[in-house]
């Protein structure tokens, strides 16, 4: 039996939306806010979070920031990064032990290296990010409590403190990096917004892409008959993997006005959880031979993932390489993350990573 597309969930006191049309209506409609501080149960700590975060902002601030950031993330702009991404993948896959935790040693390292390079924050920046990601991503859980928010905000501050001198330096001596590009726009982002955007890019671009890579490897090792389909058409396969193994399970909105959705009345001030994973998976199991189905793995509407072209490229360049370089790869153990927001792993152990003789 299918769950109702819009239903009230008493324990969380929120609406759950799992119908495709209804989810699209929330994500693309007006009268919804992305600000966690507006949630009726928002801990006080949330109201003290630094402003300037695109993901949590609403129009008109969101519209202004998004317009300034979008040019750097068009498919064309991202295409210019492909050669460097190929090199990063090559470097990460070289020198792996025969048995390894693929999540730690591959899936996390590739997106961190890519974003660290985009922002030119060096190895120190990449290392700091790997260390700070767990508390930062806890902030995105709808059940994050006061302690989690304090820890997440502290991690945000640590990262912002690391970035502050770097931003000041780039203002004086611009480079070819994305921080310099953000600062160069006349009437562009404020310095606080540039810092918040760096933190957002470093976190949004990391955990998600790592989750997609690791989740896809796990799914395909469990269903190896589909691996040739990945190798034959990586871009098409990645769409289907995004649909079924998409790393974001849900996004949250607060109703700013009253809404009528599938015959249910949602009052202003109530919280809605849009269950992206349920919407996507209702269309059927993983089948890499099918024509790509539309999916909501990257959300939709004004907050549609800014990094989608980059994430797709990283997955397309990484997944086929893994299976061609290591045809004997096998699963030896894994642990799923207990998370409301992320479809993620905490461990993904594989063996048989000897390179194919050339």
Instruction: Write down the least CB distance from residue 350 to ligand HEM, Å.
Output: 20
Q: Kindly state whether residue 88 participates in binding ligand HEM, applying the rule CB under 6 A.
A: no
Minimum Å gap between C-beta 247 and ligand HEM is 5
Half-sphere CA count of 254, side-chain side, radius 13 A: 16
54 binds ligand HEM (CB under 6 A): yes
Site for ligand HEM in 169-198 (CB under 6 A): none
Instruction: Please answer whether residues 92 and 121 qualify as being in contact, where contact means their C-beta atoms are separated by less than 8 angstroms.
Output: no
For residue 175, cis peptide bond before it (omega within 30 degrees of 0): no
Length of the chain: 358
* Burial class (CB within 10 angstroms; exposed 0-12, middle 13-18, buried 19+) of 2: exposed
Tell me the two tokens of residue 25. 């209506």
For position 55 contacting ligand HEM by CB under 6 A, the verdict is: yes
Binding mask 101-130 for ligand HEM (x = CB under 6 A): --------------x---------------
Q: Which of residues 227-256 bind ligand HEM (CB under 6 A)?
A: 246-248, 251
196: tokens are: 């918040």
DSSP state for residue 357 in the 8-state scheme:
P
For ligand HEM, give the closer residue by CB, 66 or 171: 66
For the chain, first and last CA: distance in Å? 52
| Residue 157 to residue 218: CA distance in whole angstroms | 34
Stretch that binds ligand HEM, among 199-207, 225-233, 265-273, 345-353 (CB under 6 A): 199-207
Among 78, 88, 194, 204, binds ligand HEM (CB under 6 A): 204
Nearest of 290, 340, 301, 255 to residue 62 by alpha carbon:
301
46 binds ligand HEM (CB under 6 A): no
Tokens of 327: 């045809």
Please pick, from the candidates 310, 319, 329, 350, the single residue that binds ligand HEM as defined by CB under 6 A: 310
The nearer residue to ligand HEM, 231 or 302, going by C-beta atoms, is 302
Give me the residues that bind ligand HEM (CB under 6 A), please.
34, 54-55, 66, 115, 200-201, 204-205, 208-209, 212, 246-248, 251, 297-299, 303, 305-307, 310-311
């Amino acid at each position: 039996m299918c769950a109702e597309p819009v239903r009230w969930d008493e324990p969380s006191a929120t609406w759950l939306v799992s119908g495709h049309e209804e989810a699209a209506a929330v994500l693309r409609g007006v009268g919804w806010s992305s600000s966690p501080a507006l949630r009726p149960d928002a801990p006080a700590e949330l109201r003290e979070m630094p402003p300037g975060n695109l993901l949590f902002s609403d129009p008109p601030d969101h519209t202004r920031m998004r317009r300034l950031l979008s040019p750097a993330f068009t498919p064309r702009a991202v295409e210019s990064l492909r050669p460097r991404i190929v090199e990063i993948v090559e470097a990460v896959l070289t020198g792996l032990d025969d048995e390894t935790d693929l999540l730690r040693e591959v899936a996390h390292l590739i997106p961190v290296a890519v974003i660290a390079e985009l922002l030119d924050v060096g190895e120190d920046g990449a290392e700091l990010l790997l260390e700070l990601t767990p508390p930062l991503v806890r902030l995105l859980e709808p059940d994050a409590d006061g302690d989690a928010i304090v820890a997440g905000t502290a991690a945000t501050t640590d990262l912002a403190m690391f970035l502050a001198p770097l931003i000041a330096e780039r203002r004086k001596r611009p480079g070819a990096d994305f921080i310099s590009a953000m600062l160069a726009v006349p009437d562009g982002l404020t310095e606080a917004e540039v810092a918040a955007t760096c933190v957002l890019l470093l976190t949004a671009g990391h955990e998600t892409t790592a989750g997609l890579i690791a989740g896809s490897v796990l799914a395909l090792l469990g269903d190896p008959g589909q691996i040739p389909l990945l190798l034959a058409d990586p871009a098409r396969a990645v769409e289907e993997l995004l649909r079924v193994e998409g790393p974001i399970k849900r996004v949250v909105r607060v109703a700013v006005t009253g809404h009528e959705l599938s015959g249910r009345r949602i009052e202003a001030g109530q919280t809605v959880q849009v269950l992206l994973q349920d919407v996507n998976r209702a269309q059927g199991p993983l089948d890499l031979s099918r024509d790509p189905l539309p999916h909501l793995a990257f959300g939709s509407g004004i907050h549609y993932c800014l990094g989608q072209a980059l994430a797709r490229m990283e997955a397309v360049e990484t997944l086929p390489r893994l299976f061609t370089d290591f045809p004997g790869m096998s699963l030896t153990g894994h642990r799923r993350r207990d998370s409301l927001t992320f479809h993620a792993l905490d461990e993904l152990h594989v063996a048989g990573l000897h390179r194919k003789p050339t």
